[in-house]
């Protein structure tokens, strides 16, 4: 008789520069997704059935994640207890084939848990740098922000425009213009903020007085495809003076993706999925279960799978 199947909620992060996005890519010529490498590492768990990462939040090529999440099922060979979340995390990290991906933490989850549908909110962070003439941005930051040559953004106007986006609206005007219209465009944007960010530790000391970083954040239960990058582009356009806050409001109310001065889309490299939130999840030490407070912890540290069998 096979051992029982165990479901896990796994949080992971990645630098997205080298990937075609987070989702698995079936044709190698089209690049590789983060999911491909996570599932390759999971093959070493020797699960009775193949392990599939059910990703909670899609990110595109070049987009990063400080924290994404997925649920997965592992069924060990007969007579072996489920892996503890700590051991699962250790095992996956040990066998990941790319240094730009890391599993942060795992939790045991109910058998009917779904990482995508049970997430209560997602927060995206977009990093903008100003005061960056051509080729002066630190090499360590070039794939991690949107570098602007201007020394000044009208942040007050950007914050005013961001307030127009908060709340429940039809965001049809900010979806990808090429996207099929099957997804409900009515979303509730819980938060939209524009704030100065700390100086980057990777900026050369002689350039720190010139370069200023800004954090643009959006929080919602879900977003339309490219909604965050299009909202970001509009806010930056307001900061540069090419749009006004009232024009952003007009674009929102138009419900037309083609409205406004061109199809503004911020580049991928400045965008980070910052967090995925689940109601009641306790990140405290020793908290291994999500919504299951009194269940066996699984195998001990001595049961870490090793070598080719993992």
Span 33-75, pLDDT tens digits:
999 999 999 999 999 999 999 999 999 999 999 999 999 999 9
Specify the pLDDT at position 30.
79
Confidence (pLDDT) at 299 = 43
The predicted structure's pLDDT at residue 203? 76
Is the domain of 43 the same as that of 77? yes
**How wide is the angle at C-alpha 4 spanned by C-alphas 39 and 13, nearest 5°?**
30
The first and second tokens of residue 270, run together, are 């400045």
The predicted structure's pLDDT at residue 294:
41
Residue 292 has pLDDT above 50, yes or no: no
Q: Provide CB contacts within 8 A for 251, sequence distance 6+.
A: 173, 174, 234, 259, 260
Examine the fold and report which residue of 117, 143, 161 is the final residue of a domain before the chain moves on: 117
Say which CATH number the domain at 52 has.
3.30.70.580
Catalytic residue (choose from 2, 60, 73, 256): 60
Q: Nearest CA to 137 among 202, 44, 219?
A: 202
Q: Is 107:85 a contact under the CB 8 Å cutoff?
A: yes
Is 2 one of the catalytic residues?
no
Q: Is 308 contained in some domain?
A: no
For residue 87, report the phi and psi dihedrals to the nearest 5 degrees. Answer: -70, -40
Residues 206-233: what's their mean pLDDT? 91
Q: Are residues 45 and 123 in the same domain?
A: no
User: Would you say 124 is a known binding-site residue?
Assistant: yes
pLDDT of residue 301: 38
Do 199 and 127 sit in the same domain of this protein? yes
> How long is the chain?
310
**Whole domain around residue 150: which residue ranges?**
119-273
Q: Tell me the average pLDDT across 259-273.
A: 86
Same domain as 254, residue 126: yes
pLDDT of residue 204: 73
Contact 169, 252 (CB under 8 A): yes
- Name the phi and psi angles at 74, rounded to 5: -130, 125
pTM above 0.75, yes or no: yes
Residue 232 lies in a domain: yes
Q: Are 213 and 127 in contact (CB under 8 A)?
A: yes
Question: Could you tell me the pLDDT band of residue 200, with boundaries at 50, 70 and 90?
Answer: confident
What pLDDT, on the 0 to 100 scale, is given for residue 180? 63
Is residue 210 domain-shared with residue 143, that is, in the same domain? yes
Note the Cα 160 to chain centre separation in Å: 26
Mean pLDDT computed over 223-231? 96
Same domain, residue pair 111 and 180:
no
Confidence of residue 138 (pLDDT cuts 50, 70, 90): confident
Q: Which residue has the tokens 């595109």?
A: 60
Residue of 103, 100, 128 whose CA lies nearest to 53: 103
Distance CA 6, CA 106 (A): 12
CATH number at residue 205: 3.30.70.660
Q: 174 and 233 share a domain?
A: yes
The answer to whether residues 258 and 161 belong to one domain is: yes
Residues 167 and 260 in one domain: yes
Asked, for residue 208, whether it belongs to a domain, the answer is: yes
Share of the chain above pLDDT 70, in %: 89
pLDDT at 127 over 70: yes
Strand pairing report for 167-170 and 146-147: unpaired
pLDDT at 257: 87
Q: Do residues 264 and 234 make contact, with C-beta atoms less than 8 angstroms apart?
A: yes
Give the number of domains in the chain. Answer: 2
Q: What is the pLDDT of residue 78?
A: 82
Q: Is residue 305 predicted with pLDDT exceeding 60?
A: no
228 in a structural domain: yes
Q: Do 103 and 222 belong to one domain?
A: no
pLDDT band at 296 (very low <50, low <70, confident <90, very high): very low
In terms of domains, do 86 and 59 share one?
yes
Q: Which of 268, 132, 103 is nearest to 200 (CA)?
A: 132
Average pLDDT over residues 147-158: 95
- What band does 181 get if pLDDT is binned at 50, 70 and 90? low
HEC letters along the chain = CCCCEEEEEEEEEECHHHCCECCCCCCHHHCCCHHHHHHHHHHHHCCCCCCCCEECCCCECCCEEEEEEEEEEEECCCCCCCCCHHHHHHHHHHHCCCCCEEEEEEEEECCCCCCCCCCCEEEEEEEEEECCCCCCCCCCCCCCCEECCCCCCCHHHHHHHHHHHCEEEECHHHCCCCCCCCCCCEEEEEEEEEEECCCCCCCCHHHCCCCEEEEEEEEECCCCCCHHHHHHHHHHHHHHCCCCHHHHHHHHHHCCCCCCCCCCCCCHHHEEEEEEECCCCCCCCCCCECCCCCCCCCCCHHHCCCHHHC
């Amino acid at each position: 008789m096979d051992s029982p199947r165990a479901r896990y909620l796994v949080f992971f992060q990645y630098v997205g520069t080298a990937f075609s996005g987070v989702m698995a890519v079936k044709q190698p010529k089209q690049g590789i997704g983060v999911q491909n490498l996570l599932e390759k590492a999971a093959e070493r768990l020797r699960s009775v059935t193949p392990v599939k990462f059910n990703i909670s939040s899609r990110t595109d090529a070049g987009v990063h994640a400080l924290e994404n999440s997925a649920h997965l099922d592992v069924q060990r060979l007969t007579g072996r207890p489920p892996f503890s979340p700590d051991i699962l995390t250790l095992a996956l990290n040990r066998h990941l084939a790319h240094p730009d991906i890391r599993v942060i933490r795992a939790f045991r989850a109910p058998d009917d848990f779904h990482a995508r549908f049970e997430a209560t909110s997602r927060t995206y962070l977009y990093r903008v740098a100003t005061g960056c003439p051509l080729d002066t941005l630190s090499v360590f930051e070039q794939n991690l922000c949107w570098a602007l040559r201007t020394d000044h953004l009208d942040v007050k106007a950007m914050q005013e425009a961001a307030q127009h986006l908060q709340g429940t609206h039809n965001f049809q005007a900010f979806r990808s213009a090429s996207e099929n219209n099957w997804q409900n465009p009515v979303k509730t944007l819980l938060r939209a903020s524009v704030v100065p960010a700390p100086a980057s530790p990777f900026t050369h000391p002689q350039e720190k007085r010139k370069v200023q970083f800004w954090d643009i954040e959006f929080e919602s239960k879900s977003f339309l495809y490219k909604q965050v990058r299009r909202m970001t582009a509009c806010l930056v356009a307001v900061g540069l003076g090419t749009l006004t806050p009232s024009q952003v409001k007009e674009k929102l109310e138009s419900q037309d993706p083609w409205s406004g001065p061109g199809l503004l889309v911020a580049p991928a490299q400045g965008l980070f999925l910052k967090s995925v939130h689940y109601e009641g999840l306790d990140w405290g030490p020793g908290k291994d279960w999500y919504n299951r407070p009194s269940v066996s912890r699984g195998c001990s540290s001595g049961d870490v799978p090793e070598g080719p069998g993992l």
